[in-house]
Amino acid sequence: MNETDAYAEPAEDAVLGALISSEVTVGQIVRGSILECAPDLAIHEAARRMSTAHVSSILVVEDDVPVGIWTERDALAIDFDHPDSFNRPVHDAMSAPVRTVTRDLGLQALAIRFRDEHMRHYLVVDEDGRRCGIVTQTDVVLNQGIEHYLKLRKLDSIIKGSLQPLPESALLGEAVRQMRSAAQDAVVVAYADGSYGILTERDLTRLIAERAGSRSVGELASRPMITVSEDASLYHVRCMLTDRRVRHVGVMRRDGSLADLVSFTDILSGMELAYVHELQHALRERDMALNASQRNLHLAEKVIESSLEGILITDEKSRIISVNPAFTRLTGYRPDEVIGRNPSLLNSGRQGPEFYREMWVKLSAEGQWQGEIWNRRKSGELYPELLTITAIKDRDGTLTNYAAVFSDISQIKENEAHIRHLAYFDPLTGLPNRRLLEDRLQVALAHAHRNRNRAAVLFIDLDRFKRINDSLGHEVGDQLLMEVARRLRACLREDDTVARMGGDEFIVVLSDLTDPDDAAHTATRIIESLRRPVQVDAHELTVTTSVGISIFPDDSCDPVALIKNADTAMYRAKDEGRNAFQLYQPAMNARSLEHLALESALHRALAREELVLHYQPLVDIRAGRTAAAEALLRWRHPELGLVPPADIIPLAEETGLIVPIGEWVLRTACLQHARWREGGHGELRMLVNISARQFQDKGFTAMVARVIADTGMPAAQLTLELTETMLMEGSERIIGVLEGLRALGVRLALDDFGTGYSSLAYLKRFPIDELKIDRLFIRDIDRNENDAAIAEAIIKLAHSLGLSVVAEGVESAAQLAILARNGCELAQGFYFSQPVEAGQFVLPS
Ligand SMILES: Nc1nc2c(ncn2[C@@H]2O[C@@H]3COP(=O)(O)O[C@H]4[C@@H](O)[C@H](n5cnc6c(=O)[nH]c(N)nc65)O[C@@H]4COP(=O)(O)O[C@H]3[C@H]2O)c(=O)[nH]1
């Protein structure tokens, strides 16, 4: 094994490790023992003690105070031609004052001091100035953790090439003079046989101790001199110096001649310490960044692993490369069954190729696709999921992966179907209820309009039903209603609709009538059919019926008006003696004239400041405290008195006046809120209704922003109430408007929830914060199990979508108790307060 192999350089990692942990302090490397002597000790005795102790310095102490230090370097100052000088007191030859460093000084800093102050020894003291030891340059070279640097540098980079060997016959005094003048700590002695020897400061100290006279260097030098090739690295040299316990090696040129003598001092002064320092810093930072990114990676892995949503990641060719545990839970496939395969293995076959084509078009254009999709589990079962696919690109924009995140929405769909059934059908008779009827009526009218036909609405009321109910009990009443429903159905064609409006009221919609008389014929058939006695248990019941008829388009084109007109006609039939039908006549409805008059007056109402807002509190059920106010529009008509919004809003929408009126409402409510804030009630939220027509206005979001800015309204305290039907136009534009509003910081609530037709899962797409359950569901919540079930289901669903819930129209403590039990957060209704003028609004104390 040659020397180079013996000092093989450390592996890269070991070097880096040494570097990073190299924040060593002087205190950690200093040797505890200090050789001390009194100032009057003879120099040769001091030298003897140093030689015996193998140390390079002795501290001169007087009265326990260091007054100087005598080192091997100081030995050079001794006159070797006159050995008498060896007997002088050390005080005459020592260096003073003693330079000190503290224990906590870093090795880097110490190395710089050694180099800049040309020192080779420092006395180390602790925080209280107590002596702890002597630190030498050699200690630094051995402990600094600079291996990486030494490894990079070759020996030839520090060779000075100024070596002047002395002939073996030269006298010791000459050698000392050369060392002194050349500021060297050793001289090389060239022997006549071509070999070399070395005489060092340490040898001089020994010679002083021996009181050696003037002898030739050939006799005194150590030989042979240890040498190394000029190609070796500084690291290699350092290892040699340490292992051989020497402080100098000769450097041999490739041609065999002696190039120089190098020592620990040369190694230290050849180092670019600032560079080393920077390198250490950079490496430390790299290490920290690496640690941080490993931590982030670990975190991301944990999130994916514990996510309740299924996650699937593919490569750019759509081959699955990883799935999370939720994926396995939801689809039934283990990772090893899907990795490497295409996600199409989950296809249910329910969506056609066109669906997937559109998905890919959107994915490549926008980088993301979201929607509902039916997939197939491993068991073969189909299930609906809400799926988001994101295309992932690297820094250069090259597509690298797709990530799909999905949740099983079967439960939501089931709830939705359940609620829809509860919401659209009368549980007693199984007939459509008012909501579904209105829907069907719209369809029937559109159909009739298209076919240029008529349609009819028949309002049916059982005469004196209440008497039966009160005298024979609900059970009997219910049986009777079920039989009535069955007979009504039997009187109609398949395309016609019969609905129960509640109590003993039914409505029939006859679609596509060619002759209005057909409506009268059907009415007669119904009256006849219901006139036949009904057997319920032991009772034979006979009921009579009154029917009112309105015809589309003759009596109105508006479904609500048609129902109202049929209702009016039905009352006329009752007035006329019951058990008959009446066709609607316009004169029956004096209100239509009123309507016209109102329309022109509304134009002037804004300018005349006839509009006012009333406020109704929303109460935090758990805290029993007013948490918000809803602003409700009123019109103080000079003759008609207070006109309710039901009469104002449709008119305002028809005439387009809703835009300025809507802005007035918002501004007035915000100004009112400013007054409450001044009074210390800034915590109250303000809810403002937005109409569909207003929402369609292009400048709507800008208007809201303007009002907020003008009035200083804290956006988070403002909630805009929207209705389901507004959202169901469902376009990207609507989502854009909602997101624009959200960006302003306002909250969004969905009003009258349950009366629209929305897909509940679809709601997930909208940035809604709050859901207001329509008061129709609340009205009978304490009497009707069905309504209670609907309210409960809506509350649960809203919570599962992360929405808070407001119950509207709470009129009794019993209703409130049920809502509280179901976890409903807020309630509003006459039980707490009617809508009142701002001055009468009771602020929370
Ligand atoms: N039976 C009963 N009713 C209760 C109870 N508690 C509150 N109400 C009524 O329920 C309605 C609640 O407002 P909404 O559902 O947003 O319904 C509002 C809202 O959709 C609309 N509206 C009111 N003000 C405005 C407005 O400034 N702009 C627009 N676009 N619409 C408005 O008119 C609708 C009716 O408003 P109002 O007649 O003031 O009727 C109010 C309120 O008086 C209760 O315990 N029992």
- Kindly report the protein residue whose alpha carbon is nearest to atom 31 of ligand 1: 689
Residues 374, 355 within the same domain:
yes
Q: Is the pLDDT of residue 6 over 50?
A: no
The residue out of 532, 557, 589 marking a domain boundary is: 589
Compute the average pLDDT of residues 641-645. 88
Compute the average pLDDT of residues 464-471. 80
Q: Which two tokens stand for residue 809?
A: 């129209």
Q: Is the pLDDT of residue 88 over 80?
A: yes
Contacts 24+ apart (CB under 8 A), 559-565: 559/438, 559/441, 559/442, 559/445, 560/438, 562/441, 562/445, 562/457, 563/438, 563/441, 563/457, 563/459, 563/507, 564/589, 565/457, 565/589
Q: The CATH number of the domain where 375 resides is what?
A: 3.30.450.20
pLDDT, one tens digit per residue, over 670-691 is: 999 999 999 999 999 999 999 9
Which SS3 state, helix, strand or coil, does residue 202 take? helix
pLDDT, one tens digit per residue, over 443-462 is: 999 999 988 899 999 999 99
Residues 684, 790 within the same domain:
yes
629 lines ligand 1 (CB under 6 A): no
The residue out of 144, 161, 189 marking a domain boundary is: 144
Q: Is the pLDDT of residue 112 over 80?
A: no
Residues 101, 137 within the same domain:
yes
Q: Which atom of ligand 1 is nearest to the CA of 752?
A: 15
Q: Give residue 338's pLDDT.
A: 95
Q: Which two tokens stand for residue 612?
A: 């006012």
473 CA distance to ligand 1 middle (Å): 35
Neighbours of 830 (CB within 10 A): 13
Q: Give residue 102's pLDDT.
A: 93
DSSP string, 484-535: HHHHHHHTS-TT-EEEEEETTEEEEEEEEESSTHHHHHHHHHHHHHHHS-EE
Confidence of residue 358 (pLDDT cuts 50, 70, 90): very high
Q: Is the pLDDT of residue 531 over 90?
A: no
647 CA distance to ligand 1 middle (Å): 12
Lowest model confidence (mean pLDDT) among 127-136, 366-375, 588-597, 624-633: 588-597
Q: Give residue 145's pLDDT.
A: 60
Q: Which two tokens stand for residue 538?
A: 């032991």
Query: In what order do the strands lie in the sheet containing 399-408?
Result: 320-323, 310-315, 399-408, 382-393, 368-376
- Kindly report the protein residue whose alpha carbon is nearest to atom 44 of ligand 1: 809
Q: Is the pLDDT of residue 742 over 90?
A: yes
Q: Give residue 587's pLDDT.
A: 55
689 CA distance to ligand 1 middle (Å): 9
pLDDT, one tens digit per residue, over 302-339 is: 888 888 899 999 999 999 999 999 999 999 999 999 99
Q: The CATH number of the domain where 484 resides is what?
A: 3.30.70.270
Residues 379, 513 within the same domain:
no
Cβ-proximal residues to 486 (8 Å cutoff; 6+ apart), any chain: none
763 CA distance to ligand 1 middle (Å): 23
596 CA distance to ligand 1 middle (Å): 23
Are 547 and 570 in contact, with CB atoms under 8 Å apart? Answer: yes
Residues 434, 400 within the same domain:
no
Q: Give residue 254's pLDDT.
A: 85
| Residue whose CB lies within 8 A of the most ligand 1 atoms, among 611, 689, 834, for a mutation test | 689
Q: Give residue 21's pLDDT.
A: 38
385 lines ligand 1 (CB under 6 A): no
Establish if 359 belongs to a structural domain.
Answer: yes
Q: Give residue 24's pLDDT.
A: 76
Cβ-proximal residues to 150 (8 Å cutoff; 6+ apart), any chain: 233, 234, 235, 237, 238, 267
Q: Which two tokens stand for residue 353?
A: 């190729």
- Kindly report the protein residue whose alpha carbon is nearest to atom 39 of ligand 1: 632
Q: Is the pLDDT of residue 183 over 90?
A: no
- Kindly report the protein residue whose alpha carbon is nearest to atom 28 of ligand 1: 689
- Residue 120 domain boundaries: 23-144
Cβ-proximal residues to 756 (8 Å cutoff; 6+ apart), any chain: 723, 724, 725, 728
Task: Measure the CA–CA gap between 341 and 330, rounded to whole angstroms.
Answer: 17
* ipTM confidence: 0.95
412 CA distance to ligand 1 middle (Å): 29
DSSP structural state of residue 242: H
In the block, which residue shows the tokens 């890269």? Answer: 12
432 lines ligand 1 (CB under 6 A): no
In the block, which residue shows the tokens 């919004």? Answer: 645
Residues 445, 584 within the same domain:
yes
Q: Give residue 2's pLDDT.
A: 34
| Residue whose CB lies within 8 A of the most ligand 1 atoms, among 613, 616, 632, 826, for a mutation test | 632
Residues 585, 618 within the same domain:
no
Confidence of residue 761 (pLDDT cuts 50, 70, 90): low
The residue out of 557, 589, 621 marking a domain boundary is: 589
445 lines ligand 1 (CB under 6 A): no
In the block, which residue shows the tokens 């109910």? Answer: 469
200 CA distance to ligand 1 middle (Å): 105
The closest of 203, 205, 250 to 224, measured between CA atoms, is 250
Q: Give residue 298's pLDDT.
A: 84
Residues 183, 258 within the same domain:
yes
Lowest model confidence (mean pLDDT) among 33-37, 113-117, 367-371: 113-117
Comparing 110 with 457, the larger pLDDT belongs to 457
Confidence of residue 845 (pLDDT cuts 50, 70, 90): confident
Confidence of residue 591 (pLDDT cuts 50, 70, 90): very low
Establish if 802 belongs to a structural domain.
Answer: yes
Confidence of residue 114 (pLDDT cuts 50, 70, 90): confident
How high does pLDDT run on average in the chain? 86
Q: Is the pLDDT of residue 370 over 60?
A: yes
610 CA distance to ligand 1 middle (Å): 19
The closest of 113, 116, 110, 118 to 140, measured between CA atoms, is 110
Residues 637, 580 within the same domain:
no
Q: Which atom of ligand 1 is nearest to the CA of 665?
A: 27
Q: Is the pLDDT of residue 844 over 60?
A: yes
Distance linking the first and last C-alpha atoms of the chain: 94
Q: Structural domain tally of the chain?
A: 5
pLDDT, one tens digit per residue, over 70-81 is: 998 888 888 888
pLDDT cut 70: percent of the chain above it: 90
632 lines ligand 1 (CB under 6 A): yes
Lowest model confidence (mean pLDDT) among 130-134, 151-155, 347-351, 378-382: 151-155
Question: Strand pairing partners for 37?
Answer: 60
Q: Which of 176-190, 791-805, 810-824 has the highest mean pLDDT?
A: 810-824
644 CA distance to ligand 1 middle (Å): 9
Per residue, the 3-state secondary structure of 345-386, as one string, reads HHECCCCCHHHHHHHHHHHHHHCEEEEEEEEECCCCCEEEEE
Residues 562, 439 within the same domain:
yes
Q: Is the pLDDT of residue 4 over 60?
A: no
pLDDT, one tens digit per residue, over 200-238 is: 988 889 888 888 777 899 999 998 899 999 888 888 888
Q: Where are the beta strands (DSSP E) in 638-742?
A: 641-643, 685-689, 718-723
Handedness of CA 834, 838, 839, 845 (dihedral sign): positive
- Kindly report the protein residue whose alpha carbon is nearest to atom 2 of ligand 1: 809
Residues 60, 109 within the same domain:
yes
Task: Measure the CA–CA gap between 659 and 652, rounded to whole angstroms.
Answer: 8
Q: Give residue 282's pLDDT.
A: 65
Compute the average pLDDT of residues 587-613. 70
587 lines ligand 1 (CB under 6 A): no
Confidence of residue 15 (pLDDT cuts 50, 70, 90): very low
Q: Which atom of ligand 1 is nearest to the CA of 835?
A: 43
Establish if 11 belongs to a structural domain.
Answer: no
Establish if 290 belongs to a structural domain.
Answer: no
832 CA distance to ligand 1 middle (Å): 15
Establish if 315 belongs to a structural domain.
Answer: yes
Q: Which of 200-204, 411-415, 602-606, 632-636 has the highest mean pLDDT?
A: 632-636
Lowest model confidence (mean pLDDT) among 191-195, 469-473, 804-808: 469-473
Q: The CATH number of the domain where 58 resides is what?
A: 3.10.580.10
Q: Give residue 219's pLDDT.
A: 92
Task: Measure the CA–CA gap between 732 and 265, rounded to whole angstroms.
Answer: 77
- Kindly report the protein residue whose alpha carbon is nearest to atom 12 of ligand 1: 808
Q: Which atom of ligand 1 is nearest to the CA of 810?
A: 45
pLDDT, one tens digit per residue, over 26-71 is: 888 887 789 999 999 999 999 999 989 888 899 999 999 999 999 9
Q: Give residue 596's pLDDT.
A: 55
Q: Is the pLDDT of residue 470 over 80?
A: no
645 lines ligand 1 (CB under 6 A): yes
Amino acid at the residue 159: I
Specify the pairing of strand 641-643 against strand 625-637.
antiparallel
Establish if 297 belongs to a structural domain.
Answer: no
Task: Measure the CA–CA gap between 402 and 150, rounded to whole angstroms.
Answer: 49
Q: The CATH number of the domain where 703 resides is what?
A: 3.20.20.450
Q: Give residue 221's pLDDT.
A: 92
Residues 509, 562 within the same domain:
yes
Task: Measure the CA–CA gap between 73 and 469, rounded to whole angstroms.
Answer: 124
Establish if 736 belongs to a structural domain.
Answer: yes
829 lines ligand 1 (CB under 6 A): yes
Q: Is the pLDDT of residue 147 over 70?
A: no
Specify the pairing of strand 454-463 against strand 544-552.
antiparallel
| Residue whose CB lies within 8 A of the most ligand 1 atoms, among 688, 808, 815, for a mutation test | 808
Establish if 92 belongs to a structural domain.
Answer: yes
Confidence of residue 267 (pLDDT cuts 50, 70, 90): confident
691 lines ligand 1 (CB under 6 A): yes
723 lines ligand 1 (CB under 6 A): no
